[in-house]
Structure 1
Amino acid sequence: MVSTKLAVFMAIGSALSMVAAAPIWNMGENGSRLLNQDVCDTPECIATAESFLGYMNPNADPCDDFTEFTCGAFYEKTVVDANTISVDFQTIISNRNKIVIREIADAALGKAPKPAPGDKAAESNLKKLHDMYASCMDVDAIQTAGQQPLTKQVQSVLSLIPDTPAIDKAALAKTMAQLIKQEVIIFYNIGVEQQLYNPHYSSIQGKQGGLTLPITSYNQSLTDAADLVPDIAQQFQKVLGVTVPSATNGTTPEIEPAVGQEWTTAAQDVIAFETLLADVTAKNTRPSLDPELPIFNNPITVEELSNATPSIDWPLLLSELLPVDVKYDRPLSVQSPEFLPALETLLSSTSVKTLRNYFAWRIISAQKYRLNTAAIPGHERWEVCNEVVTKTLPDIVGHYFVERTLPESDQTVFRTMLQSIISAYGEGFPTLNWIDQITLDGALKKLHAMGLVVGQSAESPNGASSESVEEYYSGFDVDVSDYFGNWYKQSVWATEKSFATVNEPYAQKKIPQFSPTEVNAIYLFGTNHIYAFAGIMQSPMFHASNPEYINFAGLGGVAGHEIGHGFDNSGKKFDSTGNFTNWWTPETEKAFAEKAQCFNEQYSNYTIKGPDGTDLHLDGPKTLGENIADNGGIKYAFRAWQSRLKADPTGKKYKNFKLPGFEKYTPEQLFFISYGKVWCSKEIPEYSERLIKTDEHSLNKFRILGSLQNSVEFAEAFKCAPRTRMNPEKKCSLW
């Protein structure tokens, strides 16, 4: 939902002055109360009102440009530049979260959680976390170690594959296995992934990779690749210029002169090999099973793998990756079977020396940044170390982050809100005139089977349980004095743990690939689950004491968006169990495509000025899935909120009271103002251009405009006359 950017949020606010009448009634022990029966003066409400006023341009016409109305002051006061390339509403939450993470992870600050007496699991978890963070913060130790940790890692791997006249397939298999364990991407990579047609289980999958440049750079211009030679040569010399493994048996280091030409030749060797690899990859990559999704399912047995690439000892490679007590006797799934014999041709014509150079470079390019202690513009070292612990120990960080920021009562409020949005979708689907009964039944079945994970993983591990988290990380030992070694051990531990699960049911309630502290929410096609991270369930996006129109427009809109992904142009290809299958009739499929085309045309007509002043058009087809989710999400978040408002018109039960200073606005108008504020953002033109070219989301400005121009409820709320900019005659609607 939200992309993380290296940006520093500039808080914008304006003070409110008001005269408060005596409270009519008390809403609870936290001091929440109403004024004049429908205006709230709690600290949270006052802060929210100040924030709203700090963003808005109330002099703008909401029916002409709602982005200017909700974000005008934000646009005017926010400064972006080469260091702060983008500022958006999510950044304020991210910056707050950073402070919490630092307080949890940095024991030296004196604000870290402390284990209860006798709580051995918590003691273990906190020691790992604090030691990992401290090892990252110990810049002196990292600088003293210099390049040696990386040199030793390269030497260790190269010792597995001596420089012999011909490839030893066992040596190659062991080398590949070791690099896969270290999470170093090479020419062929093996991993454990969820099965496409049996999503409750995993399988071993293989796909090609291992290129320094994108394939197009090799194919279109060898100059692009050649330009890398000086840098690669410098890195080789820096890491391997003093000692390298012996070329005879690979076990005894020898002192060799750091001759510049030697490393230039090695760099040229790497680029030449990668150029051939790029050509093989481009010519032997099978198209995805779906034009809109990078998915594949091509079963192949170990015997067939061995026949296709006899230079690799596949049984040995798999045995190196799998635990000794885990047997895997099923076919693997590979991306492109035709790539394998082409790879064999390349390997059989490549010298072992070239492969050694290639493997060395892949390690160096993947790991060198971990030795960098130089300051990142706009960021301090503690921010880097925050990222390190959320990457290496996400569930430990998440456990204490949730404990500190997201009480169970707030989680319950969100679950209730999500269920009401699901119910609104369920009430809306049968009213659609383009969907037939067979497809409708499938859609409703999928909708009501949709799962939810709130805050942090509920399995593998159960993030709420210190004991479960401690057991999960029990195989990962952290050394407070060895930062680089900790990274190495974490990579190997994570890979081995992944392969150990290959015969187990797929953990559908585990947050995948993210830390719970991320300001994000995602929907996964293969699990039919929504994952709402604790990081996004924070004020001002969500707060249990907010007026409901803020929560439903903010986090509710995000939740509705994720539900919508289950029925967008990609999500609709997976059924209620997450299985990749077509459950649509041809007639409804055609109707869907026709309605989707409306969104393609609408969003492709939006333009911005590029860095050179020319018009840049959004890409409607590329952003279609996100646009469908945006439009459906806000539509049904509004309807869900409206149903609760109508059941409680006084606002006493569901807290739909007004904010101070906003008495003239209706609750419906405040809902849409809240929604617009969520997507206020400002970027430098170069970054906007990059987003248009690479991001599957529309620019935030057009996420506001597009969804609200299509909203009948928005036009009614602001009484926008027909054919005004925000109430066009032609509206796109799907779900």
Structure 2
Amino acid sequence: MTPSSPPYSRDDFDDAFILRELSTPELEKRRFLYAEDHARNGSLDIDGFDSRSFDTPWYRRRGSCLSLIRFGVFSITIFISVAYYFWSIILNELADSVPPRPVTPPLCESAECDFEQYVCGGWRERHDLRLDQGSMFTGTLMAEAAQMRLRHILESTSVPEAADEENLRKLKSAYNACLDEAVISKRGSEPLDALLAQLDDIYSAESTAVGSDVNITDAVLFLMNSGVTALVEMGPGAKPDDRDPDKIVISVGPPDEIGLPVREYYNSSQTVSEYTRVLKEVLGNFVGQDKRVSVEDIVLFEWKLANATPDAQTLQDVEKYYNPRNLDQVESMLPQISLSTIVSMLSPAGFKPDRLIVSSPSYMESLSTILRDTPRKTVHHFFKWKIIQVYVDQIEDAKITALREFSNKLAGKDPKATTERWRTCIRSLDRGLSWSLSRFYVLDAFSEASKELGDQIILDIKQRFVNILHQTSWMSPDVRKLSIEKVDNIVQKIGYPTKSPNVMDPADIERYYHDLHISNETFFENEMAIAKFDLHRAWSKLGKPTDRNEWGMSAPTVNAYYNPPLQEIVFPTGIMQPPVFYGPSAPLYLAYGAFGAVSGHELSHAFDSTGRHYDQTGNYTDWWDAKTVQGFEDRAQCFVDQYSNFTVLGENGEPLHVNGRLTLGENIADAGGIGAAFQAWKKRDEASPDAHLPGLSNFSKEQLFFIAYGNWWCAKTTKEAAIQAIYTDPHAPKFARIIGTMANSREFNEAFNCPTKKPVCKLW
């Protein structure tokens, strides 16, 4: 659904509980519960401490199912029977993708035959959502364990070594300023009022002329320095130039959020009506009874911007977002804003860009038309509203209560819920002082033995993936040869960065944050200082070769990623913890089933619907011949059709389908990752067999491998979070990541003695 009609028109927007398309009466009787974060460069959608990273869909079913622990004491005969019938349910769910085939004996249609419920039912019984959570999964628990570890470090009274005194002082100052709710409450909205007053001085609402763009460039620049994105997102990206990986390039395009968190929300009359009410109340609290403020005009302005913004699928497609233009060409698209002035003010002295990457030329041209037809006062108050939205969590004042409650409701949380302050503060540190925080986390949570095992697992999987490529018949010999070279060239990074900065060198950390000034009393100003520090550090990279030592995630982050232009797969310390990563003393089928699948997932991104466009050196280019491209697309379409059959229900009860095209890269990576991980573990197990775990002798090692994988994706999600994720998340709902991945695994079918061994969809 796209915002194709004005926000005040009636629209049948979906609203109900999440649903998988199950055709059996017994399974359709179950109740579902919802609960609480680009493939940015092919990540797993489990980003560290930011709660938004976990806002991906999940479901809960109650029925006659038994937990995994209960099943552990059942006989292996019963277990195999359950698995046998489960495969038939998978086929039934994927009826649109797989031709029906007769099945005998009769299908098991009870909850016990659902593999996802089998591995996750007990998990859901033991884990409840807090009021401030819209979703959670195993990665959430790992991230919260890391938070607790960091809390103990930050609240400890022990004296650090002399070399770390300044690093810990700056961390504790930021942490204590954030914790001091008495001071924050006493100041109320004062610091936010001051920021809004600065905008008035730069870009006033006095002119009522339509299309008045005087000082609008200064306003956009002021917002950027304040950590606020409005109208356009502009700056050096998280990755280098796709066609020249050794060069940092400026990207420009639509912002991630216009006003509402999801562009499709502008088509929901109910959501827009509530949003308008909140905007009127909250903005009115800050600007008073200004008769020049038309809240309806602001919402209409936002709707126009949302309607001009391409959908998430388009913005993540390198063939569509990579549009190089010179600066004059970009300015001609959007003459109201002097992008050359912004570049000149933020770039190093003397820097002249030879090109910018415009992610959506159509948006830039539409934005120009929208600005031309919009009164200056509307744009002015839209800017104010964006500032309020960004800094809503940095103040404590009744003025912003309605906005917090509305945001909570949209995210599937209790409207009046608040997050424990210490959690909020550690998340703030992870955004602002991430490498200082990383240093103390690594010292406390990581060992050299873990790094060695992680390296071994990834190397094993790379070798298995090369073997898979050798057997891929739809690839031409020349492309296969280059693909193998590409695998060999992929750099693996584990644990933490050792350069830019070196987390293990306290002096290097201190130098990195030397220009960031932190107070132990002013939380709001600290957040502003961090925003400006990050902005200028990013722009300072222009004109210099790409620093290939930098990491895109902090060490405590529970996630991993593949960066196509830099040809690297990165695994922070945070994800190398139980129950995803176990040390060398534990049976390897546990580590390979979870962390190995994560590793294989990231490696597979090098050959998914995005990664395949980058050659063995990381250049975005057409390096596949027509035969290979056709072979890929034919097989990829199977994944699109398969995952498009999974649905959640929206506001009005209509099924909301997973976007099989948007999630294609992640689904391919899930399937390729589990296959490579299983083969890598089997080869290792043949050389040095794993021992059985006590109490689980009724399970084969192969079965425990897949159970370990399934446990990693156990989750709960509220219906609101599920709907939001369907529109924006390049990852499928987690129940689909278990069911779909198992349906696509021959090894799973063999391990559980399924009647059909052939996977539904297969690329690698």
Smaller-chain TM-score range? 0.7 to 0.9
Q: Counterpart amino acid of 1:188?
A: V
- Cα distance change on mapping 1:601 and 1:287 into 2, 3 Å: closer
Residue number in structure 1 paired with 2:386: 362
Q: Offset at 1:546? A: 1.8
2:286 pairs with one of 228, 233, 239: 239
Q: Counterpart amino acid of 2:251?
A: Q
Whether 2:367 is the aligned partner of 1:320: answer no
- Cα distance change on mapping 1:633 and 1:261 into 2, 3 Å: same
- The farther-off stretch of 54-63 and 398-407 is 54-63
Residue number in structure 2 paired with 1:197: 243
- Cα distance change on mapping 1:619 and 1:546 into 2, 3 Å: same
2:252 pairs with one of 206, 209, 230: 206
- Mapped to 2, the partners of 1:594 and 1:568 lie a distance apart of 13
- Cα distance change on mapping 1:695 and 1:312 into 2, 3 Å: closer
The answer to whether the Cα contact below 8 Å between 1:56 and 1:69 also exists between their aligned partners in 2 is no
Q: Offset at 1:76? A: 5.1
Whether 2:220 is the aligned partner of 1:176: answer yes
- Cα distance change on mapping 1:401 and 1:208 into 2, 3 Å: same
Whether 2:106 is the aligned partner of 1:90: answer no
Q: Offset at 1:493? A: 1.0
Deviations 1:153-210 (Å, cap 9, x if unpaired)?
1112321235675899783333221211222112233211221211221112222347
Q: Offset at 1:612? A: 8.6
The answer to whether the Cα contact below 8 Å between 2:636 and 2:664 also exists between their aligned partners in 1 is yes
Whether 2:740 is the aligned partner of 1:706: answer yes
Deviations 1:407-447 (Å, cap 9, x if unpaired)?
12211210111011101111121112221101101211211
The answer to whether the Cα contact below 8 Å between 1:395 and 1:456 also exists between their aligned partners in 2 is no
Partner of 2:54, secondary structure, is coil
Aligned positions of 1:261-410 closer than 5 A: 262=291, 265-271=293-299, 273-275=301-303, 277=305, 281=308, 291=317, 295-301=321-327, 303-305=328-330, 309-323=334-348, 325-337=349-361, 340=364, 343-344=367-368, 346-347=370-371, 352-372=376-396, 377=417, 379-410=419-450
- The farther-off stretch of 465-474 and 210-219 is 210-219
Deviations 1:469-508 (Å, cap 9, x if unpaired)?
2111111110111000001111011101111111122233
* Alignment gaps of 5+ in structure 1: 10-50, 241-257, 650-655
The answer to whether the Cα contact below 8 Å between 1:217 and 1:224 also exists between their aligned partners in 2 is no
Partner of 2:85, secondary structure, is coil
Q: Offset at 1:352? A: 4.5
- Mapped to 1, the partners of 2:118 and 2:321 lie a distance apart of 42
1:516 pairs with one of 531, 546, 555: 555
2:547 pairs with one of 507, 525, 532: 507
- Mapped to 2, the partners of 1:268 and 1:350 lie a distance apart of 13
TM-score by length of 1: 0.80
Partner of 1:190, secondary structure, is strand
Partner of 1:64, secondary structure, is helix
Question: What percent identity do the matched residue pairs reach?
Answer: 27
Q: Counterpart amino acid of 2:180?
A: D
Whether 2:574 is the aligned partner of 1:535: answer yes
Deviations 1:541-578 (Å, cap 9, x if unpaired)?
11213211111111111111111111112211112232
Residue number in structure 1 paired with 2:149: 100
1:53 pairs with one of 49, 56, 69: 69
Deviations 1:300-357 (Å, cap 9, x if unpaired)?
22x445555554444433222224x352242333234465565455545555444433
The answer to whether the Cα contact below 8 Å between 2:647 and 2:656 also exists between their aligned partners in 1 is yes
Q: Offset at 1:593? A: 1.6
- Mapped to 2, the partners of 1:616 and 1:641 lie a distance apart of 38
The answer to whether the Cα contact below 8 Å between 2:565 and 2:619 also exists between their aligned partners in 1 is yes
Q: Offset at 1:658? A: 1.7
Alignment: residue pair count: 651
Q: Offset at 1:640? A: 1.0
2:755 pairs with one of 722, 729, 735: 722
Residue number in structure 2 paired with 1:136: 178
- Mapped to 2, the partners of 1:611 and 1:361 lie a distance apart of 27
Deviations 1:340-375 (Å, cap 9, x if unpaired)?
565455545555444433322221222223214889
Residue number in structure 1 paired with 2:111: none
- Mapped to 2, the partners of 1:377 and 1:220 lie a distance apart of 27
Q: Offset at 1:456? A: 2.4
The answer to whether the Cα contact below 8 Å between 2:227 and 2:532 also exists between their aligned partners in 1 is yes
The answer to whether the Cα contact below 8 Å between 2:253 and 2:364 also exists between their aligned partners in 1 is no
Q: Offset at 1:57? A: 7.7
Residue number in structure 2 paired with 1:62: 83
Whether 2:196 is the aligned partner of 1:154: answer yes
Partner of 1:511, secondary structure, is coil
- Mapped to 1, the partners of 2:719 and 2:298 lie a distance apart of 36
- The farther-off stretch of 200-209 and 309-318 is 309-318
TM-score by length of 2: 0.77
The answer to whether the Cα contact below 8 Å between 1:182 and 1:491 also exists between their aligned partners in 2 is yes
- Mapped to 1, the partners of 2:726 and 2:316 lie a distance apart of 23
- Mapped to 2, the partners of 1:57 and 1:611 lie a distance apart of 41
Whether 2:677 is the aligned partner of 1:627: answer no
- Mapped to 2, the partners of 1:479 and 1:342 lie a distance apart of 43
- Cα distance change on mapping 1:418 and 1:52 into 2, 3 Å: farther
- Mapped to 1, the partners of 2:334 and 2:320 lie a distance apart of 24
- Mapped to 2, the partners of 1:226 and 1:669 lie a distance apart of 51
The answer to whether the Cα contact below 8 Å between 2:496 and 2:555 also exists between their aligned partners in 1 is yes
Residue number in structure 2 paired with 1:246: none
The answer to whether the Cα contact below 8 Å between 1:553 and 1:672 also exists between their aligned partners in 2 is yes
The answer to whether the Cα contact below 8 Å between 1:285 and 1:336 also exists between their aligned partners in 2 is no
Instruction: Report the structure number with the largest CA radius of gyration.
Output: 1
Residue number in structure 2 paired with 1:42: none
Partner of 1:554, secondary structure, is helix
Residue number in structure 2 paired with 1:25: none
Deviations 1:586-611 (Å, cap 9, x if unpaired)?
11111112222333344344567889
- Mapped to 2, the partners of 1:293 and 1:206 lie a distance apart of 16
Whether 2:671 is the aligned partner of 1:671: answer no
The answer to whether the Cα contact below 8 Å between 2:746 and 2:759 also exists between their aligned partners in 1 is no
Q: Offset at 1:278? A: 5.1
- Mapped to 2, the partners of 1:618 and 1:278 lie a distance apart of 21
Q: Offset at 1:149? A: 0.3
RMSD of aligned C-alpha atoms? 3.5
- Mapped to 2, the partners of 1:508 and 1:456 lie a distance apart of 14
- Mapped to 2, the partners of 1:611 and 1:357 lie a distance apart of 30
Higher relative contact order (CA 8 A, sep 6+): 2
Partner of 2:386, secondary structure, is helix
- Cα distance change on mapping 1:285 and 1:426 into 2, 3 Å: closer
The answer to whether the Cα contact below 8 Å between 2:558 and 2:574 also exists between their aligned partners in 1 is yes
* Alignment gaps of 5+ in structure 2: 1-43, 47-52, 59-66, 87-114, 405-415
- Mapped to 2, the partners of 1:55 and 1:682 lie a distance apart of 21
Partner of 2:666, secondary structure, is helix
The answer to whether the Cα contact below 8 Å between 2:560 and 2:602 also exists between their aligned partners in 1 is yes
2:161 pairs with one of 100, 103, 116: 116
The answer to whether the Cα contact below 8 Å between 1:218 and 1:275 also exists between their aligned partners in 2 is no
- Mapped to 2, the partners of 1:211 and 1:662 lie a distance apart of 51
Q: Offset at 1:530? A: 1.0
- Cα distance change on mapping 1:304 and 1:287 into 2, 3 Å: farther
- The farther-off stretch of 58-67 and 479-488 is 58-67
- Cα distance change on mapping 1:687 and 1:312 into 2, 3 Å: closer
The answer to whether the Cα contact below 8 Å between 1:226 and 1:271 also exists between their aligned partners in 2 is no
- Cα distance change on mapping 1:556 and 1:54 into 2, 3 Å: farther
Q: Offset at 1:99? A: 0.6
Q: Offset at 1:236? A: 3.0
- The farther-off stretch of 623-632 and 59-68 is 59-68
- Mapped to 1, the partners of 2:565 and 2:179 lie a distance apart of 38
